[in-house]
Structure 1
Amino acid sequence: MTTYVIDHFSGDQHFVIKEELLTPREKEVVSLLRKGINRHTIAKHLSISEATLKTHIKNIMRKR
């Protein structure tokens, strides 16, 4: 799923996120995904587990 999310965050004009619905942490995740940073690096950068990152990504996907 992460590859799918990264592909869409990094340039697909049809993939719209209602950023006003995102938490501050989810906004951080979106920003890093848009830069093309991989899941492992994002989790390490945010000091969270990859499982927690996966949960954030799922929540973001539900808010689009």
Structure 2
Amino acid sequence: MKIIQIPVLEEDSTFRFMISLRFEVFLNKIYHEPEPKHVYSFKDYLKRVLKWKDYEAIFKEDALKHNA
């Protein structure tokens, strides 16, 4: 199994604790699936569970990189 698109945050980021907690929940969810997939996107999971404002704040740098 492979998990892709995991955000890397600075040590002093206000979202660091929230992302680590969400990652644990995400892993638990995958672990308990009867038929797990081969690849999971953590970014897609966050898009579904976070408020849009928080999601944009976490991934704002990605949007600017891919906009060029």
Name whichever structure is richer in strand by fraction.
2
Question: TM-score category by the smaller chain?
Answer: 0.3 to 0.5
| TM-score, structure 2 normalization | 0.33
Larger Rg: 2
| TM-score, structure 1 normalization | 0.35
